[in-house]
């Protein structure tokens, strides 16, 4: 398998609301495996389809307990308790920001092997990574979640023109 190219901040695909995957076919399964390989090579813990140029609701994660593939994920319940934590992003190299997120989430998604709907609850790092990657499926980035000044500083680290 070949490593996929990770799209960087400024690429328009990162701002697209992704489409549901209708059929879990061999192409979707192959893409998920290539995304995992790319994520591992980039030393990330999560990767969403738009980060590799695809307008699909597909996320891969490995927060330390083995690989997880989420297809058409939806948050069906979440904690009212927000926890602030450090987040980076493979599409925003050299940027790390403290982001507030619910401490746990309950997710519903399609299982890549069985095509059945599955539900599970995630806490801690896994909950944070799931929420981060699901933001990508809505065209949202971590810099959208911080005050203007923090965003300004982050863009400076990216060497992006700040209008």
Positions annotated as catalytic residues are: 133
- Number of residues that this document lists for the chain: 163
The Cα–Cα gap between 23 and 138 comes to: 20
Residue 12 three-state SS: helix
DSSP string, 36-85: HHHHHHTT-SEEEGGGGT--B-EEEE-SSS--EEEEEEEEEEE-S-EEEE
Lookup: tokens for 75 = 């948050």
Distance CA 79, CA 71 (A): 22
Burial class of residue 145 in the structure, from the number of CB atoms within 10 Å of its CB (0-12 exposed, 13-18 middle, 19+ buried): middle
């Amino acid at each position: 398998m070949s490593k996929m190219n990770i799209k960087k901040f400024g690429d328009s695909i990162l701002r697209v609301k992704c489409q549901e995957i209708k059929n879990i076919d061999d192409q979707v399964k192959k893409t998920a495996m290539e995304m995992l390989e790319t994520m591992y090579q980039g030393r990330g813990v999560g990767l969403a389809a738009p980060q590799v140029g695809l307008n699909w609701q597909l996320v891969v994660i490995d927060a330390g307990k083995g690989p997880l593939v989420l297809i058409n994920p939806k948050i069906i319940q979440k904690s009212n308790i927000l926890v602030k934590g450090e987040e980076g992003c493979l599409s925003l190299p050299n940027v790390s920001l403290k982001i507030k997120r619910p401490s746990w989430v309950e997710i519903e998604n399609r299982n890549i092997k069985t095509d059945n709907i599955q539900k599970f609850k995630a806490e801690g790092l896994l909950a944070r990574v799931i929420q981060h990657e699901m933001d990508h499926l809505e065209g949202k980035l971590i810099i959208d979640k911080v005050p203007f000044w923090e965003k300004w500083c982050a863009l400076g680290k990216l060497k992006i023109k700040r209008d």
